[in-house]
Amino acid sequence: MPDTGKSAIGLDGNLAAALGYPIGILAIICLIMDKENKFVKFHALQAILLYDWVAVDASVVGGVSGRSDRDYPRSCQSIRRKLF
């Protein structure tokens, strides 16, 4: 297995790359700060693109479904009116 070295934030390269996926801000920091570790930069960019894809997909699916009050059962309509 190739040596991934240290990242610019002081973490092991594997750990920095892995933490970029669940902690999105860490991926942004690694992408900006890391100048020489291509392994960490690759995974940081991949994590950011994954977050963008998920956000776009969620907005498209949410916009297409376009649920309104009449789509919910009557019991849910009264709860939704109280909440919103």
Give the model's pLDDT for residue 58: 76
The number of C-alpha atoms within 13 Å of 38 and in the hemisphere containing its C-beta is: 1
**Are the C-beta atoms of residues 14 and 5 closer than 8 Å to each other?**
no
Give the model's pLDDT for residue 48: 93
Go through 66-82 and write b for each residue having 16 or more CB atoms within 10 A of its CB, e for each that does not. eeeeeeeeeeeeeeeee
User: What is the DSSP-derived secondary structure letter of residue 12?
Assistant: B
The structural domains of the chain, with segments of one domain joined by +, span 13-83
How much is the pTM?
A: 0.66
Which structure tokens are listed for 77?
Answer: 């309509």
Give the model's pLDDT for residue 49: 93
Q: pLDDT of 31-83, one tens digit each?
A: 999 888 899 999 999 999 998 888 888 777 766 555 554 555 555 556 656 66
